[in-house]
Amino acid sequence: MRVVFLYECRFRNDGSPLYLKTNMDWFKEQLGLVEVKHYIPGDEYRGGKFDLYIWVDHGEDVLPVPKYKCPKPNCYWASDTHLGLDYRLNKAKEFDVVFVTISSHVDLFRKFLKHDRVYWLPHAGEPTAYYPYNIVKKYDVGFIGYLPTQERIDLLDSLFRRFPNFKYGQAFFEEAARQLSMCKIGFNCSVRDEANMRAFEIPLTKTLLLTDYSPDLEKLGFKDGENVAFYDNPEEMLEKATFYVEHDEERELVAECGYNLVLNNHTYLHRAYDMLEKVIECLDLKW
């Protein structure tokens, strides 16, 4: 099978390309693919005949839907549907098979599109960008990211008041991983109970994931006290953070289990397998 994989591309400090989700060209042998071409959305594709066109959403909802016509057969992986739902619903009409990162939105998309070729495909972690650094954990708590909601701001404020020895910043890829690796606990707060990317990235640095409870994360094998620390309210968040900061052995055991869970089940290579299998089944393609 020959695949065109459309996704936003960023670059490392050394100038080498790093795709935010698995570069299928690196893993084409494992995936059983003959040829893979990567393009940045918006660039006109001028290649030859391919068997499948994969469009991975990267938050381009400020641009008009018609700009993103895609040859067929194709599939679309819609991300952040809790933030740009109308845009992504309409964009999904252009695709044969659709994947969404939030399980509760599968039926919503199926109803809107009037077909059942919509499936849950959660976010994941990319080990080539987030891997466990051998760094001393000098901070009690860390958060790398943005503050889109007042809830996240308030929770971080109370957490940082309790633990003045904290790490906060905005970084990407290896630098984000390096900063998270210096923390005993990595904080996460989803926007709307979704299994966001941070929930997979933090464990890959072997830092304990402290996150609000998500039904999707539970479906994916995350278990409180075993490979993650869930909280349901600010008081529980502070209680669990305090326990794990003060108990190194318990914290590192949970962090190690979280790392193994993501590495063995929830990388973008795993998602690529799942995507290709479902598309081939739906469209009766040859792998």
User: Which of 66, 44, 40 has the alpha carbon at shortest distance from 55?
Assistant: 40
Tokens of 96: 């044969």
* pLDDT at res. 10: 52
Fold classified for 139-265: Rossmann fold (3.40.50)
* pLDDT at res. 34: 84
Distance CA 173, CA 151 (A): 25
* pLDDT at res. 36: 83
Assign domain 2-124+267-283 one CATH number from 3.40.50, 1.10.10, 3.30.2420, 1.20.120: 3.40.50
- Answer whether residue 68 shows pLDDT above 70: no
* pLDDT at res. 96: 96
The model's confidence at residue 192, banded by pLDDT at 50, 70 and 90, is: confident
* pLDDT at res. 44: 52
Distance CA 138, CA 255 (A): 16
Task: Return the domain boundaries, the chain.
Answer: 2-124+267-283, 139-265
* pLDDT at res. 111: 98
Q: What is the pLDDT of residues 15-62, one digit of tens each?
A: 555 554 556 777 888 888 888 877 765 555 555 678 898 888 866 555
Q: Nearest 5 degrees, angle CA 19-CA 24-CA 30? A: 140
Q: What is the pLDDT of residues 227-247, one digit of tens each?
A: 999 999 999 999 999 999 999
- Answer whether residue 129 shows pLDDT above 80: no
Dihedral angle of Cα 83, 86, 88, 91, to the nearest 10 degrees? -160
Q: Whole-prediction pTM value?
A: 0.90
Residues 6+ apart with CB under 8 A from 70: 6, 53, 55, 76, 94, 95
Tokens of 70: 């895609």
Kindly report the length of the chain: 287
Same fold, 2-124+267-283 and 139-265: yes
The model's confidence at residue 12, banded by pLDDT at 50, 70 and 90, is: low
* pLDDT at res. 56: 85
